[in-house]
Structure 1
């Protein structure tokens, strides 16, 4: 699924992966839901943080 993406992602790539808007992606990183690093004004997201977020969602989904 994420093999086509680099190990370090941008917020735009995060939005594309999750199929959400850019504002929602910024919300996820700004509130700490998805881990990230700020380098100057840029935000970089390790791909492992995205996979952790996706895997965590499997266990919290209501059936």
Structure 2
């Protein structure tokens, strides 16, 4: 997962606990999950856009 091993993930979890505290951790995790979902949806929408070059019908 993103090139992170178990040790790095544990250190990251401890840092998050120190910065946000155990009481705020569920809301932080929820916000992070929603952000990731929104990011994935944006990527999916961007892939659906047709970006093939075509005739540019602008009048100068």
Structure of higher RCO (CA pairs closer than 8 Å, 6+ residues apart): 1
More helix, by proportion: 2
* TM-score w.r.t. length of structure 1: 0.34
* TM-score w.r.t. length of structure 2: 0.35
Specify the structure having the higher radius of gyration (Cα): 2
